[in-house]
A and B are shown apart, each in its own frame.
Chain A
Amino acid sequence: MKRTFVLTAAMVFCGFSAWAESHAADAKTAETAEAVTMEQEVDLEAAEKIFRKSCRACHGNKAQGASSYPSLSDKEPAYIVEKLERYRAGEKFGPNSVLMIQHAKKLSDSDIVSLSVYVTTAFD
């Protein structure tokens, strides 16, 4: 499995390079810099455990949303990160803030990043 991840990571970078080369030089430089600064490791296995324990019961077994709980799978990772960081800081927004704050306050930075990738990609 580890080999799969190494290969995937390489594909990611190849994919990025191919995508970036299709853009103008200035844009390419800017995008590359942004991408490099945002590069982080994610732990999908740990994210899955958190998801199953803390997210799945409300947001659905595929993060598709359920009842009054919104879909996560159709969002971008950056969106999830931003929301989780605000909840972790204790900010109230939206009707289920109390629930989210309680769950989010236990998360580390790396948990949040990993979760954001997991919920937005694992159920495609």
Chain B
Amino acid sequence: MKRVNFLSALPVVASLLAGTAMVTSPALAQNGMNTTMLQSEVVLDGLDNPWDMAFLDDGTMLFTEKCKGLSVRMPDGTVNALYGVGATEGYASNGADLFCEGQAGMMGVAFDPDFANNRRIYVYSTSNMSTPHTNRLMRFTVNEDFTAVADRTDIVDDVPYKMAASNHPFGGPGAHNGGRVRFGPDGALWLTTGDTHNGMVPQSPTMMGSKVLRLDTDGNAHPDNAPPEGFDKRTYTYGHRNVQGIAFHPETGQAITAEHGPWHSDEITILRNGGNAGWDPRPNMAGRGDCPDNYCGYSPNQEEGMNRYERAAFMPMTDFDTYPDAMPPIWNNNGWSQGTSSAAFLSGEAWGDWDGAMVVGIMGIGFGGTPIGQRIDVIHFNDDNTDVEDVTEMTLPMEPGRFRSVVMGPDGGLYTAIDEGTIYKLTPGN
């Protein structure tokens, strides 16, 4: 056993021990076989909770940092800080109303498909412009040399935000905002949202949390959206828990979500226009009684670990008993919840058998007997593209992290951001 003496009163001790720890920590071994099949490159490091990226064909990369703001990495590697959260220094301009708290802050980002002509981008962030505060989808224009943004227009200003702490795990303000922003192959703008630990939100026809919104670039409902009668027409699907992953199948064009589960059952779901994802954590529903702060999302036992299937039986992620027509998930992470956060489809012959497969970034949790599970899974669909045929865990050439975002780059690389502050590029290699 290796032992040193600890004198906590002395800063000098800490600094000396730091050297010791660095020397004595074993080099982190790379994972087992197949590590040579992927190569990793650090694109950016030292970031503050990088949340999402978006690319132009020339490699220009927008990226968000949750508590700092929006920046762009140019093809030559230079980084311009464009729009800061609150009073964050160093940005060309700031949104004084933007703030971060808990899981909330600046999240998804997307380029307009017609960016070359209209210079438009879209960013989702938490704002205190109104009270209760909300999450907003903002549209900007970017100047010619990518040094500044202008013309902010809040095209969605009413996605709920959790204002106060509640008696739940992860129960601080700012929980469950969803946050991914993507353009689909249909040219529509898609936004994913979350339940804010509010039992009323998921099945609400008017509160825009727990939804997948399909919009035009002014924030109006897509004309083909078909939610149930009485629903806000911006709704494409509803009854979600906290969707942070959405991608579009390269062959069918269908929107597919990857979603956090409630201590069980992360899910991948092929969306159906107007569909219900079947999450309904209201108290006194489906045989449940009262729940802490009127939200049953972690019941029946939110203090300790318990069998995940018992949890699922009590508080299902997709409640088919109550909602028989709910959209069935095609993957449930073997019943685990491990922080499934993002999704993309691999593209390019260099990916070999994985070309066209879906990748899902998983952040890892590790509570109550759940394996931590930080990884990127490769999801293979069946020939009809209606179900999952196989799942392969990507053998990573670097240490895993909290994989918040996976995005295909125009160069054929898979870019992934981890909360710890790094954006990597993964490429298939020999």
Contacts and interface: CB of A to CB of B under 8 A. Distances in A.
Interface of A: 1-2, 4-5, 8-9, 11-13, 15-16, 19, 31, 34-35, 38-46, 48, 53-54, 57-58, 60-62, 64, 66-68, 76-78, 81, 94-96, 98-99, 101-102, 113, 116-118, 120-122, 124
B418 to A, nearest CB: 8
B367 A99 contact: yes
A94 B165 CA distance: 9
Contacts of B285: none
Contacts of A61: 399, 401, 420
A94 B173 CA distance: 11
A57 B366 contact: yes
Contacts of B66: 67
A8 B17 contact: yes
B374 interface: yes
Number of chain B interface residues as a range: 35 or more
B8 A121 contact: no
A103 B366 CA distance: 10
Nearest to B14: A121
A113 B419 contact: no
Contacts of B420: 60-62, 64, 66
Contact of A68 (B4, B12, B170, B404): B170
Contacts of A101: 303
A117 B17 contact: yes
B85 to A, nearest CB: 15
Given A38-B7, A57-B374, 11 more contacts: A8-B4, A40-B5, A58-B366, A66-B49, A66-B418, A68-B174, A76-B8, A102-B305, A117-B8, A120-B14, A124-B15
Interface in B167-188: 169-172, 174-175
A67 B103 contact: yes
B313 interface: no
Nearest to A19: B12
A4 B19 CA distance: 11
B304 A122 contact: no
Interface stretch (B22-30, B207-215, B267-275): B22-30
Listed from nearest, the 9 A-B pairs whose CB atoms lie closest are: A95-B172, A66-B419, A122-B21, A124-B18, A121-B18, A57-B364, A68-B102, A60-B420, A57-B372
Given A5-B3, A35-B10, A99 B21 contact: no
Nearest to A59: B420
B33 interface: no
A16 B416 CA distance: 45
Interface in B20-62: 20-25, 49
Given A8-B20, A66-B420, A39 B170 contact: no
Contact of B367 (A2, A16, A102): A102
Nearest to A62: B420
A77 B14 CA distance: 8
A113 B6 contact: yes
B39 to A, nearest CB: 20
Contact of B3 (A41, A116, A120): A41
B187 to A, nearest CB: 32
A12 B5 contact: yes
